[in-house]
Amino acid sequence: MLKPLCVLLPVFISFQSIAKNSQYEGFSYPNKAKNAISISFDDARHSQVDTGLALLDKYQVKATFYVSPFNVKERVEKWQMAVKSGHEIANHTTSHLCTGNFEWLRKQGVSLEQITLKDIEQDILKAQDYIKHTLGIEPTSFAYPCGNTFVGRGANTKSYVPVIAKHFKTGRTWLDETANNPNFTDFTQLTSLAIDGLTFEQIKTMLEQHRTNNSWIILAGHEVGKSSQYTTDSDALEKLIVYLQNPDNGFWLDTVSNVAKYVKANRQEID
């Protein structure tokens, strides 16, 4: 049986307004680029400064490094050089806190299922202090280890996104299926696409799939060297940089914080 029109009408009107407000609004980047793109690396793995830094600096590309202190400690001078070269250094927690499905975390009792919001805030601020004192900068960006954004489990699960919103301008997740819509994306849950183990051609195909609607694409890798599950292939990275720096390809390449700043200042927010 049909419902009376007076019941259906408000629902119809509200969907109409959602559809209107959700329409793509268009977005302009510097240098007439169609898309923004950021290259980021997680964990402060040694190969990032041993191998990756020289490659990035050769092309004067600025990347965003989400670092954890336990790795920085073993390459302090090289990380100080990364700061001097103008790369963005950002926070990735002190203890690389993520799900206890990783046994090494669960055994220490510090997996996200086992800790509280207060615990994770303290761990993040400890990393912030270390970076400030060792590298002389205060990170404004954060990457969620393993892309996990929660603490606790089941009915007691809590999101720690508000903790990131309190202390940082941006937060980045991992292994996402979308790029960021500049007019809509939540700066505390920016998406990223993994580049470890991919050839340049595979990365290019991925970019083509995600560059609709003037998206901002954030790439994320771990080691830099010979391609593997957690290693961004050096040759693929070099080809990618050359490709992104060619203005004909329509990308504006900059750090996560620099792009975020520009997007925030220029976007027409949609619901």
| Smallest separation, CB 194 to Zn ion (Å) | 11
- Ranked by CB distance to Zn ion, the top (closest) residue is 42
| Smallest separation, CB 96 to Zn ion (Å) | 6
- Among residues 103 and 271, whose Cβ is nearest to Zn ion? 103
- Among residues 41 and 200, whose Cβ is nearest to Zn ion? 41
Q: DSSP assignment of the chain, as one string? A: -PPPHHHHHHHHHHHHHHHHHTS------GGG-SEEEEEEEETT-HHIIIIIHHHHHHTT---EEEE-HHHHGGGHHHHHHHHHTT-EEEE--SS----TTSHHHHHTT-SGGG--HHHHHHHHHHHHHHHHHHHS----EEE-GGG--EES-GGG-EE-HHHHHHH-SEEE-SS-SS-B-TTT--GGGB--EE-TT--HHHHHHHHHHH-GGG-EEEEEESEEES-BTTEEEHHHHHHHHHHHHSGGG-EEE--HHHHHHHHHHH-----
Residue 35's contacts (CB-CB under 8 Å, 6 or more residues apart) are 29, 179, 211, 214, 215, 216, 217, 250, 251, 252
| Smallest separation, CB 60 to Zn ion (Å) | 26
- Among residues 143 and 260, whose Cβ is nearest to Zn ion? 143
Closest Cα to residue 130, out of 87, 71, 175, 81? 71
| Smallest separation, CB 92 to Zn ion (Å) | 6
Given the rule CB under 5 A, which residues bind Zn ion?
42-43, 145
- Among residues 64 and 183, whose Cβ is nearest to Zn ion? 64
- Among residues 52 and 145, whose Cβ is nearest to Zn ion? 145
| Smallest separation, CB 42 to Zn ion (Å) | 4
- Among residues 172 and 210, whose Cβ is nearest to Zn ion? 172
| Smallest separation, CB 246 to Zn ion (Å) | 31
Closest Cα to residue 94, out of 69, 131, 60, 129? 69
- Among residues 143 and 263, whose Cβ is nearest to Zn ion? 143
